[in-house]
Structure 1
Amino acid sequence: MTVVTDAKSLEQAIKDGASPIEIQGRITGLSSVKLPKGTTLTGAEGAELHFKEGQPGLMLNANHRVSNLRIVADETQVALGLLDEEKALGTIEISDVRTVGRFHLEGTQAISGDLKLKNIHVEKADAHMAAHRPAGFGVEVLLGGFSVYNSSKNKDSKWTLSAENISGGSKDSPLKGSGVFVFGGWYIPTDANPAEAPAPTAEGGSIELVRLTTGEIHSQGQIPQGISNLITGGVFVGSGVHAQEVVNEGAVSTYGPNDMVLDNWGQVESWVAQAAITSRGPSGIGFVNFGDIGTLQVQAPIETHGLGARGFNLYDGSLKRAEFESITTYGDGAIGVQLSKPFGSIRVSGDIRTKGGEGESLVRGKVTKLKANALSLKEGTRGEAFIVGGEVQAESPEVESYEFQAPASVIGRLEVGGKVVRDTATG
């Protein structure tokens, strides 16, 4: 074990190829630190690394263990990142780390890698102007304060990831950009028609997400009002990701325009939200799905407070089974539940309730006028069962509770408060 207590001794330890290295105390005035392959870096109690203004922080390579550190850089800089020089990342284990600045593991070169992350908290970070944004469905997605991004366009590039107890931001200082961002490198086919808001279906790099658990997440994208081609997510599972399990153990809150709270473009076997899902900005959807989900369980209320901020949207992809506690929207144009694609069963134990009237909302990269219907069935919808234990109610006298562009008959069993709902147009 090589013990370092200042910038000079850390630089010398790295030059000598020492491993493991233990950080003691608060080391300041650091230029960016590039760890050689295989280096283990740990901190004694209270250990901190502080980097000079404008400098990236700790940059990893392959086969590392990093633990028990607070890493401080500028909010816009990568406080802990990946050099993107190796074809094989090996195993990278990071635990009990706090950052000021972005936690950003992105690579285009690595064909393989096993990332094991645990107890990571991003105190402050600003990714809203960062480049290399993935695109699809008429929008680009802003990177996160916490990002794992296999941005390779090579479909043979496959990483595995386990990320447990990931948290970021606070109510007073939300992360700027997305919150937790996990994406593969799938991209829009070159022959796709941009006017059709195409999906990123061309295979690139992928991530096998074994498990993701999150603590409390607060994020605000800093997207100007009226911009329609940018979005963020409090927790965003992206294209090219196959997730076995996602669990939101803490509340997830977003605050700005186009800031989705939970968003899926990937393939998720099981997603469970155990705490409140809250959007406070315009066009910020509580949970929006463009990918494929096996089981979705939201065990706490979904609430949205902004103009056009819908509760739950099944926009694209598929859904086998979903359960919600309750869904409430407050803004004009803020639909409670909007379904456009096939699903198995959806159950809401409480109410679906909207408070607003007509207003503008972001739909597939375009601003559209919507009424705050409690339940909207669009063309393309079909499902086995939609059951609500409480009420489905639009409280504005100017708005119908139901908007059925597809008839109720596309759902095998449509039940509200113990009563069957029939489509009045067809009897």
Structure 2
Amino acid sequence: MNAQEKAVSTVETLIAATRDKNVQHIVVYGNLMNAPSVNLMPGQSLRGDGAGAAITFAKGKDGLRLSSDNRVHNIRLDASAEKRAIFNDTSVASLGRLELHSVTTTGRVQILARDKVRSGHVDVNGLDIVAADARGEKDRPHGYGVYVLQGAFTLWNMQQDTGVTISSDLVGLSAGRDGAPVRGSGIFVGGGGDKAGRLTVRRLETDAVYSDGGIAPGTPDQITGGVFTVYGAHVDAVRNRGPVVTYGVNDMVLDNWGVVDRWTAEAKIISFGSSGIGFVNFGILQELKVTAPIETFGRGARGFNVYTGTVNLADFDRVITHADGAVGIQISQPVGRLVVHRGIETFGGTGPSLVKGKVIALSAIGLSIKPGGSVREIEISGGIKTNGVGVSPIEQHGAIEALHVSGGIVAAGGGFEEI
């Protein structure tokens, strides 16, 4: 090791290294137990040597605080689930370039541009958050009648000045485990608002994400997302390589309030909770392609929604919903082309669903074009089928310029003779 690199194998030598201005690179050997919060000075890096390299922080303590121009590589950082395994010092003027590569955590990863932070870049390549709980965070974006809970991973430019831009490249993010989800949102990226500080994201690529917001039933003004691009986020490409699954009330699976050029989902999109939508759009989305099924199981849990903003192209494999009030596809704004390759099918009847912060009754219609909604072209292979009694496959209150459906339009539940 050179003079600027320091090997540490105890908590005491770790803390001493972080306070030594002559140490630029800290190398961790073994598992350092019961550590207090640790601060990296500007320009310092921390990496593990060997598969067992880890820092376990004291119960109830936040973990590693970054400042600016820090690199964290090849290490596991364990804090209490509700605490932050990685966070940042907001009293510095710039994040510089923060790098997280091949990092595993228990506890949240939260990077905020607020207070004095007005610039910087965040680079993530391989971040696995095993367990985390963001429900205690009181700062929550508000829009469309609801507040959004922060995530296991949160990158948020909170500055209200439109001249403040944070850039990022985020690859290989995963959160939670099947049956053991993170609490709150999963992956959360956002800016200060539609006319405020911006977060630009070159890539947002996720592996498996499992989340449960833990929102109490009957709460109309809180939501979460498995993967959530909040207002002020401008993303070149979102790619969900692994499944994204949500379990709780008002847990959207994929949600866009920002501006996204291309969004591709390559594995199943699943919602188990009530009013948990497979994909919901309030922002500007040029191209959406979902190559695996969207499937929801909770009451009012729709498959795909466009409430505000627009989508130029939405291309789906298959959309299935199982409960009352769970519309297959619902369009409330003008969109371009809508394609479904293997059909839309719903199994429920009429029931409650969360719509812009209010719970209203919906019927589990297969394809619903609401007033104000319109579609330039719809092409559906595999048909549109409803199984609930008295549930229509199609509801049209807005314009459709061209509609092509192969495979039938079927109301299998019957019951229309009583209507």
**TM-score under structure 1 length normalisation:** 0.93
Question: Is 1:345 matched up with 2:350?
Answer: no
Counterpart-to-counterpart distance in 1, 2:217 and 2:273: 10
Structure 1 vs Structure 2 CA RMSD: 1.3
Counterpart-to-counterpart distance in 2, 1:252 and 1:313: 17
Question: Is 1:89 matched up with 2:95?
Answer: yes
Question: Which residue, 358, 381, 387 being the options, matches 1:366?
Answer: 358
Q: Given the superposition, is the C-alpha separation of residues 33 and 49 from structure 1 closer, same or farther in structure 2, using an over 3 Å criterion?
A: same
Task: Tell me the residue number matched to 1:26.
Answer: 31
Letter in 2 for 1:6: T
Task: Tell me the residue number matched to 1:411.
Answer: 400
Counterpart-to-counterpart distance in 2, 1:294 and 1:19: 43
Counterpart-to-counterpart distance in 1, 2:138 and 2:10: 33
Letter in 1 for 2:255: D
Question: Which residue, 53, 77, 89 being the options, matches 1:47?
Answer: 53
Counterpart-to-counterpart distance in 1, 2:404 and 2:135: 42
Q: Deviations over 1:225-253 (max 9, x none)?
A: 00000000000011001100000000000
Counterpart-to-counterpart distance in 2, 1:172 and 1:351: 28
Counterpart-to-counterpart distance in 2, 1:418 and 1:145: 42
CA displacement at 1:131 relative to structure 2: 1.7
Q: Given the superposition, is the C-alpha separation of residues 356 and 420 from structure 1 closer, same or farther in structure 2, using an over 3 Å criterion?
A: closer
Counterpart-to-counterpart distance in 2, 1:252 and 1:81: 24
Question: Is 1:395 matched up with 2:399?
Answer: no
Determine helix, strand or coil for the equivalent of 2:17.
helix
Task: Give unmatched runs, 5+ long, in structure 1.
Answer: 187-200, 422-427
2:282–2:308 CA contact under 8 A, matched in 1: yes
Task: Tell me the residue number matched to 1:98.
Answer: 104
Question: Which residue, 348, 362, 371 being the options, matches 1:356?
Answer: 348
Task: Tell me the residue number matched to 1:209.
Answer: 201
Determine helix, strand or coil for the equivalent of 1:11.
helix
Task: Tell me the residue number matched to 1:10.
Answer: 14
Question: Is 1:266 matched up with 2:266?
Answer: no
Question: Which residue, 179, 186, 192 being the options, matches 1:185?
Answer: 192
Question: Is 1:60 matched up with 2:52?
Answer: no
Q: Deviations over 1:190-227 (max 9, x none)?
A: xxxxxxxxxxx4x2211111001100000000000000
Determine helix, strand or coil for the equivalent of 2:76.
strand
1:110–1:157 CA contact under 8 A, matched in 2: no
Q: Identical aligned pairs, as a percentage? A: 39
2:67–2:89 CA contact under 8 A, matched in 1: yes
CA displacement at 1:40 relative to structure 2: 1.0
Counterpart-to-counterpart distance in 1, 2:151 and 2:210: 11
CA displacement at 1:8 relative to structure 2: 0.6
Question: Which residue, 305, 319, 339 being the options, matches 1:327?
Answer: 319
> When the two structures are aligned, how many residues end up with a matched partner?
403
1:351–1:389 CA contact under 8 A, matched in 2: yes
Question: Is 1:314 matched up with 2:306?
Answer: yes
Determine helix, strand or coil for the equivalent of 1:245.
strand
Counterpart-to-counterpart distance in 1, 2:245 and 2:406: 29
Letter in 2 for 1:25: G
Task: Tell me the residue number matched to 1:136.
Answer: 143
Counterpart-to-counterpart distance in 1, 2:54 and 2:389: 58
Counterpart-to-counterpart distance in 1, 2:203 and 2:163: 22
Counterpart-to-counterpart distance in 2, 1:370 and 1:344: 24
Counterpart-to-counterpart distance in 2, 1:98 and 1:380: 46
CA displacement at 1:419 relative to structure 2: 8.0
Counterpart-to-counterpart distance in 2, 1:401 and 1:418: 13
2:382–2:408 CA contact under 8 A, matched in 1: no
Task: Tell me the residue number matched to 1:190.
Answer: none
Task: Tell me the residue number matched to 1:193.
Answer: none
CA displacement at 1:420 relative to structure 2: 11
Q: Deviations over 1:369-415 (max 9, x none)?
A: 11000011111112210110111111112211112222xxx121111
CA displacement at 1:107 relative to structure 2: 2.1
Counterpart-to-counterpart distance in 1, 2:367 and 2:374: 14
Counterpart-to-counterpart distance in 2, 1:16 and 1:210: 35
Q: List 4+ stretches of structure 1 deviating above 2 A.
A: 418-421
Determine helix, strand or coil for the equivalent of 1:80.
strand
